[in-house]
Amino acid sequence: MVKRVTPATQRIYWLSGFTARSLAVFALSAPLLTIAQTDNPKFREVLSAIVHVHAQVPVTARTAHVLGTEREGSGVVIDANGLILTIGYLILEASRAEVTLATGKKVAVDILAYDYNTGFGLIRAAESIDVRPMKLGSSGGLENSARVLVSGYGGVEAVRPAIVVSRRVFAGYWEYLLDDAIFTSPPYPNFGGAALIGAEGELLGIGSLAVSNALPGDAPVPGNMFVPIDHLKPILHDLLTAGRSSKPTHPWLGVYTEEVRGHLIVTRVAPEGPAAQAGIESGDVIVAIAGQEINSMAKFYRALWARGTAGIEVPLTVLRGAKLLSITVRSADRYKWLRLNPV
């Protein structure tokens, strides 16, 4: 089970879910803790790039009822002009935001971009800040058992050692798919926008979620999911110039689903979204898309996106009670459904 968590409940993940298997992972990562506790000036300079992010979102925002109207997490300064990378849901549909620097100074920021495909968000300090940016690393070679550091805002005291326990596909219930997500353990409590840091002080990923199965199996190990930094590089120019990627827009249906023993169940639909308008209901089971059998989120998204771009018609077969129904949904561009750049 995967769940987004508000800041008030994030620490629950740190205090629960430990098994003998997860404690073994913690023991393996423990030697890195000495790095985080040193007074090495260079290490402290690396950490100074991590800022606290606070965003305010109107109550009329599409995501307000799920993600809240006051959102907090971390971000990482990644260039000399105050560009800050964070996890997108912190700033999605925000009307204003500010960051707190390592010095404690609060600085207003401009909201630049949100990328739904990766989950990244970009903001920029509205005034000059004297912060050395964290260099971007390469996440492509990050393998299982790699030792890393995880840190949200808070300096050395906020740093925790971790182990990469899995690199695999992650499918999110909100029509989201990453082919090579980074999973780490032990769990880091303040994961939203946290930095995944490599041995040279380089940024390898941005924290997104707490998960119960970072290392899957009969005795799953809890941890966190990070978005790999390599996903930023091909789209950074587009995000800075247009606020979104120039890649063709995936068709979006506005269905939120859950996998249950090989069945894909609709848990809810986005209000006024394509699925809702077509008559898809909570509790429906998605059986097929254009005749292709569906038994997982990942298979569903790949089949959907393979049909074309936003605006195409998507024929679905759904099971409602004891009846099989054929429902055609006209997909949409989710950016047009979101209420971005509110006044």
Query: Residue 154 is part of a domain; what is its CATH number?
Result: 2.40.10.120
User: Which residues, in sequence order, are CB contacts of 153 under 8 Å at separation 6+?
Assistant: 50, 51, 52, 53, 74, 100, 102, 190
In a 13 Å sphere around the CA of 292, the CA atoms on its Cβ side amount to 13
Q: How many domains does the chain have?
A: 2
State pTM to two decimals: 0.89
Q: Which residues of the chain have pLDDT under 70?
A: 1-39, 342-343
Task: Indicate the SS3 state at residue 342.
Answer: coil
Structural domain harbouring 151: 1-247
Residues 239 and 261 in one domain: no
pLDDT value, residue 57: 98
Backbone angles phi, psi at 133, to 5 degrees: -70, 150
pLDDT value, residue 23: 46
Residues 61 and 134 in one domain: yes
Residues 46 and 147 in one domain: yes
Closest Cα partner for 316 from 305, 304, 299, 306? 304
Residues 190 and 289 in one domain: no
- Count of CB atoms within 10 A of residue 45's CB? 14
d(CA 27, CA 163): 10
Q: 237 lies in a domain?
A: yes
pLDDT value, residue 198: 95
pLDDT value, residue 164: 98
Q: Please name the amino acid found at residue 127.
A: E
pLDDT value, residue 25: 52
Q: If you write DSSP's letter for every residue of 73-115 in order, what string do you get?
A: EEEEE-STT-EEEEEGGGTTT-SEEEEE-TTS-EEEEEEEEE-
Q: Which of 191, 223, 247 is the last residue of a domain?
A: 247
Q: Are 212 and 22 spatial neighbours (Cβ–Cβ below 8 Å)? A: no
Q: Which of 192, 218, 247 is the last residue of a domain?
A: 247
Residues 96 and 169 in one domain: yes
Closest Cα partner for 292 from 282, 279, 302, 277? 302
